[in-house]
Amino acid sequence: MKVKNTLNGYKIAWNEVFPDAFINYTSSLAGVDSNSDKKRSTVLNRLKAFNKIRNRCAHFEPVWKFGPLLSEDDGSVIKPAPVDSITCLARLKLEYKK
């Protein structure tokens, strides 16, 4: 989903594909504008975060071991990694809500 062009050089119309692939991807996000790449990047960052939790579950690793909380928009650090049981549980609840 990071690819912008097909093998024969045609541009992939991600704004048309995303609403079919992601049912809750609203039409306002799908609109063609200067922010469409940023919006697609936000979806990809959410999928990366989900994949980390999925891998922890699939490989029987602790799901409560988190790194810093990253922004889905640009990948910047929002909060540092949890350091105790209270912050771990709060983070786990946040990730579960997503």
Model confidence pTM above 0.85: no
Question: In the chain, where are the structural domains located?
Answer: 14-97
Question: What is the residue-wise DSSP string for 37-98?
Answer: HHHHHHHHHHHHHHHHHHHHHHTT--TT----EE-TTT--EEEPPP-SHHHHHHHHHHHHH-
Q: Distance between CA atoms of 75 and 17, rounded to whole angstroms?
A: 24
pLDDT tens for 17-26 read 777 777 776 6
Which pLDDT score, from 0 to 100, does residue 8 have? 92
Instruction: Dump pLDDT digits (tens) for 86-98.
Output: 988 898 888 888 7
